[in-house]
Chains A and B, each alone.
Chain A
């Protein structure tokens, strides 16, 4: 990635286009240890009983996808993602194409930080998950 001096407000991250498989969704639920207790992530019938269209991604998995956009941007650079905040507005479904994007909204030369806005969008350009992150560069 660029050094802190080369980062500008408006720099973009992504877009990253992907489709999360149902298996990935189940695997994530397994990692979190919620596969057995929250059927909405693993079992279509259980999800439908909750009024959902079918299984959905755990919120934390969406956080993981947004975080990946930031860690890809950092690469092996001398910086670290030090904060992320997410809001889950609408469920993210597996087997449906999504786009993950972001851009730099602010930089702070004294703190050597960059603020980033992030989102996950569906095919209808609806923002299902929105977030912000802070990347801190080594001094």
Chain B
């Protein structure tokens, strides 16, 4: 059985300082991942679309850092840690000028035995809010630790 302090579950360990999103960053992000949808890259076309202006592609939400003290609060089991996957709920669009904060907590810790042996998964839930206090996304980061 994996050993950890149950008091850490669902307890927010850090809320980041707000990060202001600007249109240039969104453009650069779109170039790097190949997003060409006019909703994200063409202000004139986006004005006529459902959001009334350029928004960030949904996947932009996963580019925000989890905070400076992330690794102090996220337990490690074993030597090597990998990003095993994500579950992201996109609640509202992120727009240029938004100031985004992340609050993170350990959501779940569980052990699995696969073909290559035992693995411990640590799931961190980050909630992203904008300057109005509206939730824009929930991100569950699934980290796999191998002894």
Contact = CB atoms under 8 A, between A and B. Distances in A.
Nearest to A59: B83
B37 A85 contact: no
A64 to B, nearest CB: 4
A60 interface: yes
Contacts of B135: none
Nearest to B45: A76
Given A18-B34, A68-B57, A59 B49 contact: no
A40 to B, nearest CB: 10
Given A67-B58, A71-B57, A88-B83, A81 B90 contact: yes
B89 interface: yes
A138 interface: yes
Contacts of B36: 72
B87 A85 contact: yes
A76 B45 CA distance: 9
B22 interface: no
Among B25, B63, B89, residue most surrounded by chain A Cβ atoms (within 10 Å): B63
Contacts of A87: 84-85
B50 A78 contact: yes
A63 B40 CA distance: 17
B86 A82 contact: no
B9 interface: no
By size class, the interface of chain A is: 20 to 34
A65 B33 CA distance: 6
B62 interface: yes
Interface of A: 18, 24, 27-28, 31-33, 50, 58-61, 63-65, 67-68, 71-72, 74-76, 78, 80-88, 138
B90 A138 contact: no
A81 B59 CA distance: 10
B7 interface: no
A125 B43 CA distance: 38
B65 interface: yes
Contacts of A88: 82-85
A72 B30 CA distance: 12
A72 to B, nearest CB: 6
Contacts of A83: 87-90
Contacts of B111: none
Given A64-B59, A65-B33, 19 more contacts: A24-B32, A31-B63, A59-B84, A61-B32, A61-B33, A63-B59, A63-B62, A67-B57, A67-B58, A68-B34, A68-B35, A74-B37, A76-B45, A76-B50, A81-B58, A83-B90, A84-B87, A88-B82, A138-B50
B11 interface: no
